[in-house]
Amino acid sequence: MPVKVDMDKIVSLCKRRGFIFPSSEIYGGLASCWDYGPVGVELKRNVKETWWKAIVQDRDDVVGLDTSIMMHPGVWAASGHIDNFTDPLVECKSCHLRWRADAVEGKKCPQCGGELTEPRMFNLMFKTLMGPVEEEASIVYLRPETAQGIFVNFENVVTTSRKKLPLGIAQIGKSFRNEITPGNFIFRTREFEHMEVEYFVKPGTDEKWLDYWIKERFEWYVKLGIRKENLRLRQHGKDELAHYAKDCYDVEYLFPMGWSELEGIANRGDFDLTQHAKYSGKELSYRDAEAGEKYVPYVIEPSAGVDRSVLAFLVDAYDEEEVEGEKRTVLHLHHSLAPIKVAVLPLSRNEKLTPLAKEVFKQLCPNFMTDYDDSQSIGRRYRRQDEIGTPFCVTIDFESLEDKQVTIRERDSLAQIRVPIGELKKVIEAKLKGEAFDASSLWATRRM
């Protein structure tokens, strides 16, 4: 049974091994902003790439898009974000800390016990000024969701892609929200990345498609290794639905702080296209030539956070085990998510081993994200690779110089196989695709 991990351990592992650092750390950091380090950026890229593959590449009914972060301010008036994207905020009259009103029980400040103000609505969109003139007319917003870039391009995409409905448009990109209470590491931040699909369907088929996407998205996490018992679905109550939503389900994950939203899958009805048609004066409907119909499509929206997914994958993969009397921390990350797929580790920095080890590295690195490490003891290097979730370590020893074979060690079972260097790429490719790591079948087994 894997250990239950607390957030401090995840934060510390992320810092220690180069996944995630506090932003601007040498200046004391900036609240709720984080930087992805060398292995973190690989993990994050892999999350986005697996999502893109499942949503866009493997399907013929979804196309991709990449729209600008700053958009015409009319977009946010039409979408309802200027009027409705707000949280109720209270401020302590003594220490002046601000809280989300719905996160505070009673009328006292949770920090100092001081008296709180009456709630007022606080808009979560970041504002900035575009161009050199500082005036009201230059105000633009940093997008709080990527979705609106999709809605305003609906006509462009339908026309150029020559696709019929149902049609999905997918986008990955940064979003910004001036959250009143960010926190829990990368769970809630003011700058984060969204992975969103707007799936346009014929009205009347929307409920069927909502069910479909709920199942599809739930399974995506399971396929990538998240344990089913740590996932659940929760339907929004009428009082918590966003201003645009007819219905919404959250995929929740059992994070260290408890069950929390990982992804939202909403039925946005025809709210957005209708609003943009009204505010822009452009017709945004779909003409089905075959059926001789014209309608404003309904939209099903699976909306996930990249950073929140990264956190869930890290938490779920984390384990502490006892191996031969020693504690080992290991990330059992799915192969497709692991930042480094294979590490090349010469037994020592001996000058006889280095040329062969470098040759092996050169053979592997164009094919897989490969790490080369020859510092410290082999045991410590294995521990580092286990902690960053590397599925395979290749060790070059003195026998390798003679027999031109190397040892592959598998992260989860710790089994080892001996493989001819000429076969290495092929073997690792097969193992990464899920071929069993059978220490007996191919070549002789040997424990290091």
Residues in 224-263 at the binding interface with ligand GAP, rule: CB under 6 A: 261-263
The reply on whether position 56 binds ligand GAP by CB under 6 A is no
Closest-CA residue to 207 (of 249, 154, 158, 262) = 249
Q: Cβ 188 to ligand GAP, closest distance in Å?
A: 4
The reply on whether position 166 binds ligand GAP by CB under 6 A is no
Q: Which of 49, 155, 179, 410 lies at the binding interface for ligand GAP (CB under 6 A)?
A: 179
Measured between alpha carbons, how far is residue 310 from residues 228, 266, 271 in Å? 17, 22, 31
Closest-CA residue to 379 (of 326, 439, 318) = 326
The reply on whether position 431 binds ligand GAP by CB under 6 A is no
CB of 243 closer than 8 Å to CB of 272: no
Q: Which of 44, 81, 143, 177 lies at the binding interface for ligand GAP (CB under 6 A)?
A: 177
Torsion of CA 436, 440, 446, 448, to 10 degrees: 20
The reply on whether position 201 binds ligand GAP by CB under 6 A is no
Point out which span in 59-67, 226-234, 302-310, 323-331 binds ligand GAP (CB under 6 A). 302-310
Beta strands in 101-246 (DSSP E): 120-123, 127-129, 139-141, 167-176, 191-201, 231-235
Q: Which is nearer to ligand GAP, 262 or 417 (CB)?
A: 262
Q: Cβ 378 to ligand GAP, closest distance in Å?
A: 39
Q: Cβ 207 to ligand GAP, closest distance in Å?
A: 19
Binding residues for ligand GAP, rule CB under 6 A, total 19
Q: Measured between alpha carbons, how far is 165 from 168 in angstroms, rounded to an integer?
A: 8
Point out which span in 111-119, 184-192, 212-220, 320-328 binds ligand GAP (CB under 6 A). 184-192
Please provide residue 335's backbone torsions phi and psi, each rounded to the nearest 5 degrees: -50, -40
The reply on whether position 318 binds ligand GAP by CB under 6 A is no
CB of 116 closer than 8 Å to CB of 109: yes
Any idea which residue has 């790490």 for tokens? 371
Long-range contacts of 216-222 (CB under 8 A, 24+ apart): 216/302, 217/251, 217/263, 217/265, 217/302, 217/304, 218/251, 220/51, 220/54, 221/251, 221/253, 221/262, 221/309, 221/312
Residue type, 237: G
The reply on whether position 302 binds ligand GAP by CB under 6 A is no
Q: Which is nearer to ligand GAP, 270 or 307 (CB)?
A: 307
Q: Cβ 340 to ligand GAP, closest distance in Å?
A: 25
Closest-CA residue to 10 (of 339, 315, 386) = 315
Q: Which is nearer to ligand GAP, 176 or 361 (CB)?
A: 176
CB of 310 closer than 8 Å to CB of 43: yes
- Name the β-bridge partners of 254: 259
Torsion of CA 274, 280, 281, 287, to 10 degrees: -50
Q: Measured between alpha carbons, how far is 70 from 146 in angstroms, rounded to an integer?
A: 10
Q: Measured between alpha carbons, how far is 111 from 393 in angstroms, rounded to an integer?
A: 49
Q: Which of 81, 194, 341, 384 lies at the binding interface for ligand GAP (CB under 6 A)?
A: 194
Q: Cβ 248 to ligand GAP, closest distance in Å?
A: 8
The reply on whether position 272 binds ligand GAP by CB under 6 A is no
Q: Cβ 266 to ligand GAP, closest distance in Å?
A: 6
Q: Which is nearer to ligand GAP, 179 or 319 (CB)?
A: 179
Q: Cβ 195 to ligand GAP, closest distance in Å?
A: 8
Q: Cβ 103 to ligand GAP, closest distance in Å?
A: 14
Q: Which of 39, 62, 78, 147 lies at the binding interface for ligand GAP (CB under 6 A)?
A: 147
Q: Cβ 299 to ligand GAP, closest distance in Å?
A: 10
Please provide residue 122's backbone torsions phi and psi, each rounded to the nearest 5 degrees: -125, 120
Q: Which is nearer to ligand GAP, 35 or 435 (CB)?
A: 35
Q: Which of 192, 218, 286, 392 lies at the binding interface for ligand GAP (CB under 6 A)?
A: 192
Kindly list the residues in this chain that would bind ligand GAP in the complex (CB under 6 A): 145, 147, 177, 179, 188-189, 192, 194, 196, 261-264, 301, 303-305, 307-308
